[in-house]
Amino acid sequence: MAMSLSLLFRRCCPKNRQALHRLFSTASTSESSDDADIVISGGGMVGASMACALAYSDSFADKRIVLLEAAPDRGDFHLPKRYSNRTCALSPSTAGLLSSFGAWEEIEMMRSQPVRRMQVWDSCSDSMIAFSQEDMTEPLAWIVENDVILGAIMRRLRQAPNPVDIRFETSAKSFVIPHVSESWEEKSKHPWVKVELGGEKSIYTRLLVGADGSKSAVRAAAKLHTVKWNYEQTAVVATLRLAEAIDNNVAWQRFLPTGPIALLPLSEEFSSLVWTTTPEDAKHLLKLPEESFVDAVNDAYWHERDKNALADKAVDGFSQLLNNIMPGGTAMKQLPPTVTGVEEKSRAAFPLELMHASHYVRPRVALIGDAAHRLHPLAGQGVNLGFGDVECLTRILEQAVAGGSDLGSLNHLLTYETKRQRHNLPVVATIDGLQRLYSTDFTPLVVARSLGLTAVNSLTMFKNLIIQRATA
């Protein structure tokens, strides 16, 4: 080849030889600078699993991947005795993704609690809906502590066959994004993204993945707009002790006029609380002595003060009607467990907002996880959407590699955006709709939602569809 090429050079374009030589020598000097195929900014659950998915994929065997995480290295994760108050409900498809790089097996070796049934009911009426896979063999979800998820992913990441360059306590000072950043037009015009790390240090990357959470710096640098809804609501989380050891595998969610309260199983004796309420109420709940807090939780699950006679009557009549049409359709309402204690210092509060980026990609930039969308925790979907992003982007980048495309090429990034927005947007909109529907005690709405829940509960087919969507 070398022989025939030099011949070509001499024969056809003697004048270009030097020019070519110059071009190629420039090319080889830039190689010594820090170049990467993919830089992932943010090593939370979503960013770390993106790195892991790439690190275990054959397609990326010879690719250079860099993960930047602002927080310090916590070393190998050791499972503490105490349960953490930050948990997630992981869907079966998330379990599938985590299992593809061995992190799910790590989680199972540590701890996780399956949810086989989910009961959702309303404090204003008797309507309720219960979800379960038909034979209760396949869990609907697993409740896993955030630390356990991240610990498992990081452990697998460190053992990965294609090593990822993990840089802790590192966050980009700025990004120079082609066609977007002003400094790009003025200075470099380099076709890749420049990740400036401060001092003289920087990385040029073919693709920048923003996994840096809801306040994403990548999103800001790429000038990707967001739509936000502020609910003036706060989520209170805590780890709760149950009255007795039970076969704890039901998620209990009750809609109160102030917002939903959810009890998620952690073990036979513990459950995790996510109570969404007004900011004032949240402040009050955090200050309460432990005993009164436990009373407040039990009261929230059991009280009948909000009952709306009209709604109740409507539901009764409607249930009977449905039963006549579809006998056996309505599942029985079960009673939630009684709470007897709250783990010390496990109470915390988070303000709630819903945020969605109108675009997830730019040439050479893609957003995943909370950087692209942040959900109300009401459906326990938040991180699952992020893991879905990881799965989708990984598949699309694998295809790009197989087709010899530039990893940062807009062509396939747009496919990622279209696919994920088609999936994520309805979830975002449904959850926003549910939230609005349930934060009222205005009678017509209460009747409407009660009838809605009751009808859904008996429509087995429709319910299965919801389960498929929520677990897919």
Partner 1 sequence: MFVCRTCRQTVQSATYVQWPSRACVTAGRGSFEQRRGVHNTRVQCQSLRTRLVVLQNKTNLDVSLTKGAGISTSSSLQGSAEENDQKFQRPMAQTTIDEEEVKKFSNLAELWWDEAGEFEALHSMNELRVPLIRDALVNQRQQESEGTVRPSLPLEGFQILDVGSGGGILSEPLARLGALVVGVDASEENIKIAQAHVMHDPKVARNIKYIQATVEDLVGTEAEKFDAVVTSEVVEHVADVPTFVTACCQLVKPGGSIFLTTLNKTYLSYALGVVVAENLLRLVSPGTHDWNKFISPQDLQYILDQNDFSTRLLHGMMYNPLMKRWSWIKNTSVNYAIHAVKAT
Q: Residues interacting with partner 1, by CB under 8 A? A: 1, 4-5, 7-9, 11-13, 15-16, 18-20, 22-24, 26-28, 30-31, 35, 58-63, 189-192, 206, 363, 401-406, 409-411
**Distances in Å between the alpha carbon of 337 and those of 101, 112, 266, 362?**
36, 19, 13, 49
- Assign 391 to helix, strand or coil: helix
Smallest separation, CB 443 to ligand FAD (Å): 30
CB of 415 to partner 1, least distance (A): 9
Taking the least distance from each CB to ligand FAD, the nearer of 73 and 268 is 73
CA atoms within 13 A on the CB side of 143: 29
Rounded to the nearest whole angstrom, what is the least distance from the CB of residue 134 to ligand FAD in the complex? 24
Residue 28 interacts, among partner 1, ligand FAD, none and using kind-specific CB cut-offs from 5 to 8 Å, with partner 1
Residues that bind ligand FAD (CB under 6 A): 41-47, 68-71, 88-89, 171-172, 211-213, 217, 235, 237, 274, 350, 369-370, 377, 380-384, 386
Please state the φ and ψ torsions of residue 138, each to the nearest 5 degrees.
-85, 125
- Work out whether strand 165-167 and strand 174-176 pair parallel, antiparallel, or are unpaired: unpaired
298/183 Cα distance (integer angstroms)? 57
Query: Residue 285 burial by CB count (10 A; 0-12/13-18/19+): exposed, middle or buried?
Result: buried
Got the DSSP string for 247-277? ---EEEEEEETTEEEEEEE-SSSEEEEEEEE
Label residue 410 exposed, middle or buried (CB < 10 Å: 0-12, 13-18, 19+).
middle
CB under 5 to 8 A by kind: which of partner 1, ligand FAD, none does 274 bind?
ligand FAD
Query: Which residue's CB is nearer to partner 1, number 402 or number 461?
Result: 402
Dihedral class, residue 90 (left if φ above 0, else alpha if ψ from -120 to 50, else beta): beta
**Shortest reach from residue 405's CB to partner 1, in Å:** 6
Cβ distance to ligand FAD smaller for residue 219 or 412: 219
b/e sequence 51-87, b meaning 16+ C-beta within 10 Å? bbbbbbbeebeebbbbbbbbeeeeeebeeeeebbbbb
Nearer CB in complex with ligand FAD: 168/442 = 168
Name, in order, each residue with C-beta under 8 angstroms of 26's C-beta and a sequence gap of 6 or more: none
> CB of 353: closest distance to ligand FAD in angstroms?
9
List the structure tokens of 321. 């009607």
H helix count then E strand count, the chain: 15, 20
CA distance linking residue 324 with residue 318, whole number of Å = 10
Nearer to ligand FAD, 39 or 407 (CB): 39
CB of 307 to ligand FAD, least distance (A): 28
Q: Which is nearer to partner 1, 58 or 247 (CB)?
A: 58
Q: Which is nearer to ligand FAD, 260 or 336 (by Cβ)?
A: 260
Shortest CB 36 distance to ligand FAD, Å: 15
- List the single partner that 13 binds among ligand FAD, partner 1, none, CB under 5 to 8 Å by kind: partner 1
287 burial via Cβ count (<10 Å: 0-12, 13-18, 19+):
exposed
Of 235 and 365, the one with the shorter C-beta distance to partner 1 is 365
Residue 386, binding choice from ligand FAD, partner 1, none, Cβ under 5 to 8 Å by partner class:
ligand FAD
Q: Could you tell which of ligand FAD, partner 1, none binds residue 71, using a CB distance below 5 to 8 A set by kind?
A: ligand FAD
**CB of 178 vs ligand FAD, minimal distance in Å:** 20
> Pick from partner 1, ligand FAD, none: which does 63 bind, CB < 5 to 8 A by kind?
partner 1
